Amino acid sequence: MPTGANTAPEFSSQTGRTVLNLREMLLRGDFQPGERLSELPLVARLGVSRTPLRLALDRLANEGLLEIVPTGGFVVRAFTLTDVYDTIELRGVLEGSAARLAAERLQDRRELAGLHSLQNELELVMPLAPELVPTIDSFATYLDLNEAFHSTLVDLAKSPMLRRTVDRLLSLPFASPSATVFARLKLPKAKELLTVAHDHHQAIMEAIEKRQGSRAEALAREHACLALRNLEAVMADKEVSSSVPGVSLIRMPDANASERTSRS
């Protein structure tokens, strides 16, 4: 047996944990956009050896959170608002394709039981009556259920290729269906958008059940537009946006530079 063969699973597990920990640090703002990551300090900070760390850095570069320096090493990637908008738009395209494929490939209505169950749970934890105000705990549960709903929708497409593409996209800041929903709770009219989202879910399920592929696709893409509305509301409030994971990686337009350009 080759030396080190029995440690492969351990390295694989260490790499997975290192990817998760390092991704969380990046989204939390522990590193600034353009900052170069040094291996030795990270090895000490994360408590791992250099091999799983290098594999984790390669993985995060492949996901798009890091950039490879031509001379060697990695730097933290900076995102523009356009990057973020495009990411959300692409999620809408992919989930629209998932909804269409789900409608076209549906063989038995019982396959939709998972979506219906999640939708019922969403309504229980987030009552839509105007007089009822959601709590922080119920909202946290809502986020988990909402993520599960979107993931189940992709599964119904029965396309491993689509699943892999969606998973890769979701690793980027703000790509998740719930990326800005929690922060949006702190802003006015949060309940209105939740009601719209609930209605979208219901309409998507009905379109899939009736095997209306084009309608299901259009509804899913429209649903993703809610994330753009959430993002615009959140980014307009500095206090709220500072609590959103990944916001530190966004380079905001320089208002002074824009003013200088307009004067020249």
CATH number at residue 150: 1.20.120.530
For residue 187, is pLDDT > 70?
no
Which of the 8 DSSP states describes residue 79? B
Same domain assignment for residues 38 and 107: no
In this structure, the answer to whether residues 86 and 69 fall within a common structural domain is: no
> Two tokens at 75?
């730097």
* 30, 71: one domain: yes
For the cut 70, the answer to whether the pLDDT of residue 238 exceeds it is yes
- With cut-offs at 50, 70 and 90, classify the pLDDT of residue 35: very high
Residue 264 DSSP class: -
Q: What's the mean pLDDT when you consider all of the chain? A: 83
Residue 178: pLDDT over 80: no
Number of domains in the chain: 2
Range of the domain at 207: 81-249
Same domain? For 155 and 27 the reply is no
Write down the residue that tokens 């337009």 correspond to: 253
Average pLDDT over residues 5-28: 72
Same-domain pairing of 85 and 49: no
Question: Structure pTM?
Answer: 0.75
What is the C-alpha to C-alpha distance for residues 232 and 19, in angstroms, rounded to an integer?
29
Q: H or E segment at 116?
A: helix 113-125
Domain final residue, candidates 20, 45, 76: 76
Determine, yes or no, domain membership for 241. yes
- In this predicted structure, the answer to whether residue 115 has a pLDDT above a threshold of 80 is yes
Mark which of 54, 76, 98 sits at the end of a domain.
Answer: 76
